[in-house]
Amino acid sequence: MPDTGEHPAKDIAGRTDEKDISVRADGHEGASPLIEAQGLGFHHPGGRWLFLGLDLSLQAGEVLAILGPNGCGKSTLLDVLLDIHRPQEGQVRKQATCSFVPQFFTPPFAYSVLDIVLMGRSTHIQTFGTPSPQDVAIARQALADLGIDDLARRDFAQLSGGQRQLVLAARALATEAPIMLLDEPTSALDVHNQDRLLTLLHRLSRERGLTILFTTHQPNHALAVAHKTLLMTQPQARFGPTATVLTVDNLKQLFDIDMIRLPAQFNGQRFENIMPVYATQLGACHARIRPPTDPKSVD
**Which pLDDT does position 21 carry in this prediction?**
34
Helices (H), 65-190: 74-81, 113-118, 133-145, 161-174
Residue 179 vs residues 82, 190, 298: alpha-carbon distances, Å: 10, 25, 67
Q: In tens digits, what is the pLDDT along the chain, a chain of 299 residues?
A: 333 344 444 433 333 343 343 344 444 455 789 999 999 999 999 999 999 999 999 999 999 999 999 999 999 999 999 999 999 999 999 999 999 999 988 888 899 999 999 999 988 877 767 889 999 999 999 999 999 999 999 999 999 999 999 999 999 999 999 999 999 999 999 999 999 999 999 999 999 999 999 999 999 999 999 999 999 998 779 999 999 999 999 999 999 999 999 999 999 999 999 999 999 888 755 544 455 555 554 44
Which domains occur in the chain, in start order?
A: 1-96+212-299 (3.40.50.300)
| CB 65 within 8 Å of CB 216 | yes
**Which pLDDT does position 25 carry in this prediction?**
44
User: If residue 238 lies in a helix (H) or strand (E), which one and from where to where?
Assistant: strand 238-241
**Which pLDDT does position 102 carry in this prediction?**
93
- Pairing mode of beta strands 211-216, 63-67: parallel
Residue 196 vs residues 3, 21, 88, 148: alpha-carbon distances, Å: 35, 32, 38, 11
Cα-Cα-Cα-Cα dihedral sign, residues 147, 201, 98, 230: positive
**Which pLDDT does position 15 carry in this prediction?**
33
Gap between the Cα atoms of 131 and 139, Å rounded: 10
User: If residue 193 lies in a helix (H) or strand (E), which one and from where to where?
Assistant: helix 191-207
